Structure 1
Amino acid sequence: MGATGPVHEALAALPLVDHHCHGIVTAEPDRAGFESLLTEGEPWPGISPFDTPLGLAVRRHCAPLLDLPRHAPADEYLARRAELGAREVDRRFLTAAGTEVFCVDTGYTPHPITTPGELARTAGATAYEVVRLESVAEAVAAAGVEPEAYPAAFRTAAEEAVRRPGVVAVKSVAAYRTGFDLDPARPPEALVVAAARQWLADGGRLADPVLVRHLLWTAVDLGLPLQLHTGFGDNDIRLHRVDPTHLTDWLHLTRGTIPVLLLHCWPYQRQAAYLAAVFEQVYLDVGLTLHHVGPARSRAILAEALEITPFRKLLYSSDAYGLAELYRLGALAFRRGLGELLQDLVDADELGLPDALRIAAWAAGDNARRLYGLPDPVPRSDRD
């Protein structure tokens, strides 16, 4: 595998657009808190999340940024982290990621976390907001609404949310709530009202299939790019129901409307690639996956995602949440994996170097800038 070369050098220098991520916890985590943020599951007695591919990657690739040797033991790592303090730790990892733009999902807050602006200031970057539509719907319900008024009230609240300064996209976590094997048709209002009546009486999260369909069609009406969690997540997901090909009929019905961004995708990166190859509006990333498999396996995931994906359809995301290390690892795994893949194709004369450099620049940030209408990057000479 190619370890060095012009593609690697170009990717190392390219500023990234992280088109889907979250904030960093504002309180310094103890060991149990830190380990809980290393896993999509729950830590089990006697099994440390440090003993996973992600845990090994933290000790290998993050320890040196804390002035520790590679593979430093977990106890030493956490002690040094506490010694430096959260602010310095966050600064080191965020600046090392080389991310110029963050698109931040603000709808997931099980812990107190940084705002998009705070994240951007720490990284010396720019941040935009992604509105999570389930959070909007649940806020409407919590504020009190009659079932007959729910469809219009949700739409109005969603329209107000996307008009906030800096909002560039919306997101749905339908994967967690119902899966994608839904009736693809827009539900009639009478059906939405009946479902809302039951939901408002029962309380809890929005997880009714009719209301999720209504939410997805409202996203179409809003006109902004729609991000959809796909594949790997915590144990709330029923993995067989989040294969993105379940969306095929809905994608047929929504052709010519909004971009649909399939997030993360593992183990369905090939299915997502198929959808990106046959539907003009579909894009994908393999964020979240990359820091969980670690830099050593990132090339394999990206190779499968890119087998048939048009090169203007691949975006970068970290899906980092909670720990600054995850922004660093996501960026490192992406740069290394894509660099190895493209460099080896160049070395085998299957790809010209100019084409490889264009593909690298597209995936690193240009595709996201085009899709979300973001400004072009500031030339390095102007930033210095």
Structure 2
Amino acid sequence: MPLVDHHVHGALRRDLTRAEFESSITESDRPVPAWISTFDSSLGFAVRRWCAPVLDLPPYADPSAYVERRRELGAAEVNRRFLGGAGVARFLVETGFRGEELLDPAGMAAAARAKADEVVRLETVAEELAGVAAADFAPRYAERLAERAGTAVGLKTVVAYRHGLDFDPARPSAREVTAAAGDWLRAGGGRLTDPVLLRHVIWAGVDSRLPLQVHTGFGDPDLRLHRADPLLLTGFLEQVEPTGVPVLLLHCYPYHRQAAYLAHAYPHVHFDVGLALNYVGAAASTVLAEALELAPYAKVLYSSDAWGPAELHYLGALLWRRAMSAVARAWAWPAGEAARVAEMMGSGNARRVYRLRES
């Protein structure tokens, strides 16, 4: 069944050493200690079990042999095998984080022989405006966002990293935005963390009418996990609701049950479990089942949230399919109903929410 990966980043363009590969299969941003191997984790075991055969190695190949085989094949061939083998018909690629190291949407499409569209990160667009006058920040941001989002299918905010989801949900006034922009610009611009400007770019995103992705839950230590609980967005979601703009809560773990409640309660809210399935490995069916306890099935989307090694794009699809099949069996769904719901979550819901056309 072809999938639509509604939230994903590009695959790395270059070969990796073992140390680099091990650093790329953990969400920690700290150096991997010499006494530990990230291959000794749920994700590491999943790579050895499911990815090794794609590289012509036996399941559970030795990590050193695995990395050496990757380097022998080269990044382009590794990407071709894993991206092509994922069975993804369309990637919605978020390009705002270290995009220069990764395949862009066109590169992803070529490697996977699939389609790819762009999702624009709101904060990155603002950071491109360092040097404008404070009074010009808001109109220039609107112009730049319209330009960047002209061919995009969605927008994304990483306010969970820059402040936390416990932000004031109200739209800031023009005076507040100009004052905050002045402070930010005088400090040299750079990473956007000012809460007023973050609110401004998020509401500018809502005004664009494109679907809005929001990072929630699990991530690297740049965020504070207790401030990434999607329930903290309740006030914001209620203010967005009258606009009809779809809000998509990303990955959510360990708050996937909270995200399911929000999707249950609010018609414009959708969610996924994203990269959590890769990181929990063999427990993927448990996490997916918990996410589906309360959620309307029309509100759940597939994503890998893969960034970097193409193994993560491949495993995201494989583990989601296996987890979906396991849930359907455990819950005794008839085969026809299981296939119908899997198609909804795997591609149909994304095609509807993002208004994707085949051409």
If the length of structure 1 is used for normalisation, what is the TM-score? 0.90
Cα distance in 1 between the residues matched to 2:137 and 2:68: 50
Matches within 5 A, 1:337-356: 337-346=323-332, 351-356=333-338
Q: For residue 298 of structure 1, what is the amino acid of its counterpart?
A: A
User: Does residue 290 of structure 2 align to residue 298 of structure 1?
Assistant: no
Cα distance in 2 between the residues matched to 1:215 and 1:90: 34
Q: For residue 218 of structure 2, what is the amino acid of its counterpart?
A: F
Q: Which residue, 208, 219, 239 being the options, matches 2:205? A: 219
**Are the counterparts in 1 of residues 212 and 248 from structure 2 also a CA contact under 8 Å?**
yes
Cα distance in 1 between the residues matched to 2:34 and 2:184: 37
Q: Which residue, 324, 342, 354 being the options, matches 1:372? A: 354
Matches within 5 A, 1:305-344: 305-344=291-330
**Are the counterparts in 1 of residues 15 and 70 from structure 2 also a CA contact under 8 Å?**
no
Q: Which residue, 57, 70, 73 being the options, matches 2:62? A: 73
2:9 aligned residue = 22
Higher mean alpha-carbon deviation, 311-320 vs 249-258, is at: 249-258
2:273 aligned residue = 286
User: Does residue 88 of structure 2 align to residue 99 of structure 1?
Assistant: yes
**Are the counterparts in 2 of residues 168 and 224 from structure 1 also a CA contact under 8 Å?**
yes
Give the C-alpha shift of residue 110 in structure 1: 6.5
How many pairs does the alignment contain? 355
Q: Which residue, 120, 142, 154 being the options, matches 1:155? A: 142
Q: Which residue, 78, 90, 115 being the options, matches 2:79? A: 90
Matches within 5 A, 1:1-384: 14-41=1-28, 42=30, 43-109=32-98, 112-141=101-130, 144-163=131-150, 165=151, 167-203=152-188, 204-257=190-243, 258-294=245-281, 296-346=282-332, 351-376=333-358
Give the aligned CA root-mean-square deviation in angstroms.
1.2
Give the C-alpha shift of residue 354 in structure 1: 2.9
Cα distance in 2 between the residues matched to 1:328 and 1:279: 32
Residue ranges of structure 2 left out of the alignment (5+ in a row): none
SS in structure 2 at match of 1:256? helix
Q: Percent identity?
A: 51
Cα distance in 1 between the residues matched to 2:340 and 2:334: 10
1:296-351 alpha-carbon deviations (Å, 9 max, x no partner): 111111111111100100000001111110011100110000111012222xxxx4
Give the C-alpha shift of residue 288 in structure 1: 0.9
Cα distance in 1 between the residues matched to 2:178 and 2:280: 43
1:3 aligned residue = none
1:258-315 alpha-carbon deviations (Å, 9 max, x no partner): 1000000000001100100001110000011111111x11111111111110010000
Cα distance in 2 between the residues matched to 1:110 and 1:36: 18
Higher mean alpha-carbon deviation, 189-198 vs 109-118, is at: 109-118
SS in structure 2 at match of 1:140? coil
Cα distance in 2 between the residues matched to 1:374 and 1:117: 17
**Are the counterparts in 1 of residues 10 and 99 from structure 2 also a CA contact under 8 Å?**
no
Cα distance in 2 between the residues matched to 1:183 and 1:45: 43
If the length of structure 2 is used for normalisation, what is the TM-score? 0.96
Cα distance in 2 between the residues matched to 1:234 and 1:345: 34
Cα distance in 1 between the residues matched to 2:204 and 2:356: 23
**Are the counterparts in 2 of residues 256 and 281 from structure 1 also a CA contact under 8 Å?**
no
Higher mean alpha-carbon deviation, 196-205 vs 257-266, is at: 196-205
Cα distance in 1 between the residues matched to 2:141 and 2:206: 14
SS in structure 2 at match of 1:255? helix
Cα distance in 1 between the residues matched to 2:272 and 2:39: 25
1:141-168 alpha-carbon deviations (Å, 9 max, x no partner): 2xx11111111111111111111x3x10
Residue ranges of structure 1 left out of the alignment (5+ in a row): 1-13, 379-384
Give the C-alpha shift of residue 353 in structure 1: 3.4
Give the C-alpha shift of residue 111 in structure 1: 5.6
1:1-45 alpha-carbon deviations (Å, 9 max, x no partner): xxxxxxxxxxxxx10000011111111111121111111112223
SS in structure 1 at match of 2:22? helix
Higher mean alpha-carbon deviation, 185-194 vs 37-46, is at: 37-46
